Structure 1
Amino acid sequence: MTSGIHHITAITRKIQENVDFYAGFLGLRLVKRTAGYEDADQLHLFYGDAAASPGSLITFLAWEDGSPGRVGLGQPSEIAFSIKPEAIGFWLTRALRYNVAMTGPVQEFGEAVLRLKDPDGIIVKLVGEADVEGPAPHVLKDIAAADAIQRVRGATILSEAPAATADFIQRHFGFRKVADANGILRLAGDAGDILDIRDASGFWTSAPGTGTIDHIALRAPDRAAVEAVAGRLANEDAGDTNMHDRTYFYSLYVREPGGSLLEYATDGPGMTVDEPLETLGTRLFVPRHFRADPEDVRARLPQFSLPGEERMRERDLPFVHRVHNPENPDGTAVVLLHGTGGNETSLLPFGARLAPGAVLLSPRGRSADEGYPRFFRRLTAVTFDQKDIVQEAEAFAAFMEGANAAYGLNPDKTLFVGYSNGANMIGAVMLLHPGLIRNAVLLRGMNVLETVPKADLSGANVLMITGQSDPYGRYAGDLEAHLKAAGAMVENTLLGAGHDIGAADLELAKAYKERVIG
């Protein structure tokens, strides 16, 4: 085992664009897709060479709603990949053809360097490294083996204490100083990977967020080595450390004196511990400690397409939303409206179990209640902002008109499912915009309109499911009466439940969907 870089982890907001850049443009292989270890609803993507070799890996945490970070002190600022020096021309041409922002080539420490920016603004360097031979370069039909990225070359760390940062990395992780020029102290591992420690004294501090590098992971031979380093760090009071079994490696985290987060990660057991090399990166891994159903997690995570795969892009519509495409579509769709405190992912597992073959469309409410998304504001527990309801219902009608066209949804084959505030929104939209919603399941719904307009809902089908001990259940009858008076066919089922929904609601909704839209 030689010292070096195991992987580098950054943060992306633009998931499809990230895949297009790293797998499509750079030609890396997607070698693993997981739910986050700290948050099961966070997608984590790993790219690498054809064999997912340590030292070739770059990973991304997906923050769809994350604010852009700020590159500064106490943070890595650049990622570098090795290519063969004669491949520089190929990448110059490729960047121009793909309209990727680029500067260079320039000479740095005697090597030709091209600088690119990924879709989130992270600087990616392609470094012409003499005599480089990666363990297993990933070869695509439009990237020959001689031009392919060989491995991770290194990273740049911004530090206002560069000497202390370099000393820390050398003493604990096996790197050595090989050069010092132009404010950069260069360290190298035994594998030839480099860490450039840039003196950034007087620069602003970093802020975490999308478009930044979270940490650099350095290579450890085994768990014993990780634990030995943890012991040494504790003895010298180097700050907080924590160790984790990440399934594919065992590691510890620590901050170096300049503030950058470092990980010390074992080479083994490796990325093929739970799936064969041939199909690497095709299945989702969910950490066991969440005790979550992988299918529920899968439904909540954002979808993306690899280069060459058919894709459905989320369109720019009035509501932030998530579209989930089934593996075996049956021509139906389910539109899911969450309750207070939820968001566009909350009901996706319910929708996936309700209709495995349906396209799922789940918008996020645009009004806020104590910081939580809602579809309209409430004034008290049972009174609501009438102007907000009317305006948001109109916006939702425009959203559905755009969504039907953008995603090819058939209104006759679409079931609207709402819970609590989402159910109330569906009921209001049906009465304010008759004809838009033809099939609906309202979970714990009530009427929220103080003035109910005349509407023709003939042909509309509604299942209301009311909790027997739901404190709001006594208001459900008013909504039922208004819908029936407008001509809708309404079934109101009383469950031995409260305001929460569960398996009984799912079974009733499944049976109802089969009856009304198949």
Structure 2
Amino acid sequence: MTTGIHHLTAITRNVQANVDFYAGFLGLHLVKRTGGFEDALQLHLFYGDATGAPGSLVTFLDWEDGAPGRVGHGQVLEMSFAIATDSIGDWLGRALNAHVPVEGPERAFGAPVLRLRDPDGIIVKLTGVPGATATPTRLSGATLLSADPEATAAFAIRLGYRRGPEAEGAIRLISDSDTLDIRNGRGFVEGIAGTGTFDHIALRAPGDAALRALRDELTGTQPVMVHDRTYFRSLYARDPAGVLFEYATDGPGFAVDEAPESLGQTLFVPGDSFVPAEEIRLMLPRFALPGEPRRPRRDLPFVHRFLDPEETDDGQVLLTLHGSGGSEADLFPLGRQIAPGATLLGLRGRATEEGNLRWYRRTLTGGLPTGFDQDDIRSEARAFAAFLADAPRAYGLDPGKITLLGHSNGASFAAATLLLDPQAVRRAILLRPIDVLDTPPEADLSGTEVLIVSGTQDVWRDRTARLADQLGTRGASVTHRAIAAGHTPVPEDARIARDWLATLG
């Protein structure tokens, strides 16, 4: 059994840029795309050689437009791919031509090295190794930053490494296939998880017996479980310095659910998620492989994501606004039920409370919410109106075919925007909205079509009715349907909205 690195896992904030760098610039194979094993609504990509062999793999969790982490001790600092020594100059030229940040060449432990930075700022080394190919097909090593280098080294040695030379401020560990450099991180800041950082390093386990033995050995020092990751089995453990290690078997491999010649072409979803697989597939970020057509990404006031129709595009656009604690993709399954031929454009609210995304802040008294921040509502509504004005030009959308689809906090925000800027949008589907403006302006909403669906068991139903009156008395054509439901959307919402849209032509 070969010892060494099984894979490295890091976090990206831009899946398209990530694919362009690793599959495009570096030329690695995308061998698997899945929903995350811990969170099925998180995209997880695996790159490696053509077969996805252990020792070639780097994987990425996609935190789309997520907060950057902080590189520090207790983390992987950099990874290295093996390339032919005489190709170093070619890769330097390629990096310069592609405007990829690059340092070097320099020498590390006697080998020539280029240091690149990927779009998230992660350090990717290209190391000249005798017998390696001109393009990256396997990992040659990784560097760990540890506040206790000896403890980290001892932990890795338990998992198959042996001690090598010490030089350039690092302890070098050697396996059958690669090296680990343990650098002294005392005095540095502690690492914080986030985009642009590594989540963990996985080392190769000889088999299930080795996993069970390590689990039994570590029991009592930290919680340890063996996980079935479909393509391998593994366990996670932290060394005494806090570095997160995974110990993973080689098999069964990536061809267990996909033909070897078509690895990475199908999106797989773990079967134990509480969200239906088809809904997860709609909600996970989309991307284009190198050479495939893609929609441009524009810099607009709100984080946003498109989902193109799988059926014939009818030119309609459903612009979705999630409820409290949601995300830009939350309403994609509902939107697809309402309008199968429409382009879905999901936006992400910019306010946060206790880590939950919202569209505007609440006012607090004694730590408890007592109302809504009127200045914040107006400020965010102006930004949203600017988005609605700019997005059609940026993406070639027909403003007359845009319909807002909001739920709860998002629906209330959409209604407030209608009142504050009547020209921003002319059509809206509002599920369980309430009135949030203390003094709604006397706006002219003539020509605006609004569907409101309230729930008879919703505690906010009286305020939904009040909002319907506000919009109607200002000239909007309001259809208000009350259904036997609470605050959460139900299948009848989709049917009502679909029928309502059909009446508008």
The two structures share one fold, judged by TM-score above 0.5: yes
Q: Structure 1 pair 309/467, CA: closer, same or farther in 2 (3 Å)?
A: same
Alignment pair present for 1:207 and 2:192: yes
Number of the residue aligned with 2:37: 37
Number of the residue aligned with 1:396: 384
Q: Structure 1 pair 89/346, CA: closer, same or farther in 2 (3 Å)?
A: same
Alignment pair present for 1:167 and 2:165: no
Number of the residue aligned with 1:513: 501
Identity level (%): 52
- TM-superposed CA distance for 1:244, in Å, is 0.8
- Contact 1:90–1:147 at 8 Å: present in 2 too? no
SS at match of 2:217: helix
Paired positions, count = 500
Could you tell which deviates more after superposition, 454-463 or 397-406?
Answer: 454-463
Alignment pair present for 1:177 and 2:163: yes
Unmatched 5+ residue regions in structure 2? none
Could you tell which deviates more after superposition, 87-96 or 417-426?
Answer: 417-426
Q: Structure 1 pair 103/395, CA: closer, same or farther in 2 (3 Å)?
A: closer
Match for residue 393 of structure 2 among 394, 405, 412: 405
- Contact 1:334–1:417 at 8 Å: present in 2 too? yes
After superposition, what is the alpha-carbon deviation per residue over 1:23-51, rounded to whole angstroms, capped at 9, x for unaligned? 11111111111222222222211111111
- Contact 2:140–2:178 at 8 Å: present in 1 too? yes
- TM-superposed CA distance for 1:208, in Å, is 2.3
Match for residue 225 of structure 2 among 213, 234, 242: 242
Match for residue 258 of structure 1 among 229, 241, 247: 241
Matches of residues 96-175 of structure 1 in structure 2 within 5 Å? 96-132=96-132, 146-170=133-157, 172-175=158-161
Report the Cα distance in structure 2 between the residues aligned to 1:377 and 1:164, rounded to whole angstroms.
Answer: 46
Q: Structure 1 pair 167/391, CA: closer, same or farther in 2 (3 Å)?
A: closer
Report the Cα distance in structure 2 between the residues aligned to 1:394 and 1:72, rounded to whole angstroms.
Answer: 39
Match for residue 470 of structure 1 among 458, 461, 468: 458
Match for residue 255 of structure 2 among 266, 272, 276: 272
Report the Cα distance in structure 2 between the residues aligned to 1:8 and 1:402, rounded to whole angstroms.
Answer: 40
Match for residue 480 of structure 2 among 488, 492, 495: 492
- Contact 1:439–1:516 at 8 Å: present in 2 too? no
Alignment pair present for 1:423 and 2:411: yes
Alignment pair present for 1:198 and 2:186: no
- TM-superposed CA distance for 1:323, in Å, is 2.7
- TM-superposed CA distance for 1:164, in Å, is 3.4
Alignment pair present for 1:366 and 2:346: no
After superposition, what is the alpha-carbon deviation per residue over 1:366-418, rounded to whole angstroms, capped at 9, x for unaligned? 34556644334455989644444433332221110011211222222222111
After superposition, what is the alpha-carbon deviation per residue over 1:487-516, rounded to whole angstroms, capped at 9, x for unaligned? 433221120112222111122112222332
Could you tell which deviates more after superposition, 30-39 or 371-380?
Answer: 371-380
Q: Structure 1 pair 454/349, CA: closer, same or farther in 2 (3 Å)?
A: same
Report the Cα distance in structure 2 between the residues aligned to 1:206 and 1:378, rounded to whole angstroms.
Answer: 32
SS at match of 1:326: coil
Alignment pair present for 1:355 and 2:342: no
TM-score normalised to structure 2 length: 0.91
Matches of residues 445-456 of structure 1 in structure 2 within 5 Å? 445-456=433-444
Alignment pair present for 1:216 and 2:201: yes
Q: CA RMSD in A?
A: 2.4
Aligned residue type for 1:222: G
SS at match of 1:289: coil
Match for residue 230 of structure 1 among 211, 215, 219: 215
- TM-superposed CA distance for 1:119, in Å, is 1.5
- Contact 2:388–2:425 at 8 Å: present in 1 too? no
Report the Cα distance in structure 2 between the residues aligned to 1:419 and 1:168, rounded to whole angstroms.
Answer: 50
Number of the residue aligned with 2:83: 83
Unmatched 5+ residue regions in structure 1? 133-145
- TM-superposed CA distance for 1:438, in Å, is 2.1
- TM-superposed CA distance for 1:211, in Å, is 1.6
Aligned residue type for 2:247: Y
SS at match of 1:272: helix
Q: Structure 1 pair 493/33, CA: closer, same or farther in 2 (3 Å)?
A: same
- Contact 1:30–1:46 at 8 Å: present in 2 too? yes
- TM-superposed CA distance for 1:217, in Å, is 0.8
Aligned residue type for 1:208: A
Alignment pair present for 1:320 and 2:340: no
- TM-superposed CA distance for 1:449, in Å, is 4.0
TM-score normalised to structure 1 length: 0.89
Alignment pair present for 1:302 and 2:285: yes
Report the Cα distance in structure 2 between the residues aligned to 1:116 and 1:90, rounded to whole angstroms.
Answer: 14
